[in-house]
Every structure is written in structure tokens, then in C-alpha cells.
Amino acid sequence: DMKVTQMPRYLIKRMGENVLLECGQDMSHETMYWYRQDPGLGLQLIYISYDVDSNSEGDIPKGYRVSRKKREHFSLILDSAKTNQTSVYFCASSLGGVAETLYFGSGTRLTVL
């Protein structure tokens, strides 16, 4: 069963708290992604991971960091969350080729108060 799982689905945090968003995939995909989606802005790439401990910044990495210690797990960390990081976060994975399909999770809606 090809699946990308994101936890949690909904999260409310206070400004300054640390946030951990987790993503898992069961397809042994090499490449994984974190995007955020805001109204009127579409999906913006935060980080891309090419494999374990091989991560690269996307278009909006500021305020975020990632961790990938196992191929099937990719975490997004917000150290001291800010209100402007309120958004819906999507994780995706792919086999890793230039034309490969991305498989998305259902998203995590994060609210930072």
C-alpha cells in the first residue's frame, strides 16, 4: 500500500514553542519534500531530502530545519515557532528521478498563536 503519512493532522502551538512535524512513507522512496501552502500562494518548497542525511534548502527554508535519519522518515522542525509559520504543511516523496511522480501526505494544519 503506497502511502505517505503525516502526523499530527492538526496542531496548535504558542509563539516561541518548538514544533516537530513528522512524515513517513512506505515506498522506500529516496527523495522526500516538505512544502507549505498558504491561501493565494500555492505550495512553496521548504526543504528537499535526497536520502538519509542529504538535505537541501528549498525556496523558503528560513525558520525551519529538517532531519532524515532513516529513509522512510522525514521530520520538519520549527525552533521557536512564529505566528507567520501558521500554515498547512505537506510532505511528499518520490523515487528521485527528474520526472518522477510526487506522492503527498494529507497535510498538517499548524496554528501558531
Which residues of this chain interact with other proteins, rule CB under 8 A? 4, 31, 33, 35, 40-45, 48, 50, 56, 58-59, 90, 92, 94, 96-107
Could you tell me the CA-to-CA distances from 65 to 2, 48, 79, 81, 98 in Å, in that order?
26, 11, 8, 12, 24
- CB 17, min distance to other proteins, A: 27
Q: Shortest Cβ distance from residue 56 to other proteins (Å)?
A: 7
Give the residue with the Cβ less far from other proteins, 6 or 81.
6
- Choose between 34 and 81: whose C-beta lies nearer to other proteins: 34
The residue among 11 and 102 lying less far from other proteins, judged by its C-beta, is: 102
Q: Is residue 88 a contact partner of residue 108, using CB atoms and an 8 Å limit?
A: yes
Question: CB of residue 80 vs other proteins: minimum separation in angstroms?
Answer: 27
Is residue 112 within 8 Å of residue 81, measured between CB atoms? Answer: yes
Of residues 44 and 86, the one with the C-beta less far from other proteins: 44
C-beta atoms surrounding 34 within 10 Å: 25
For the chain, percent helix, then strand, then coil, each to nearest 5?
5, 55, 40
**Closest distance between other proteins and the C-beta of residue 16, in Å?**
30
Residue 18's nearest CA partner among 66, 90, 82, 73 is 82
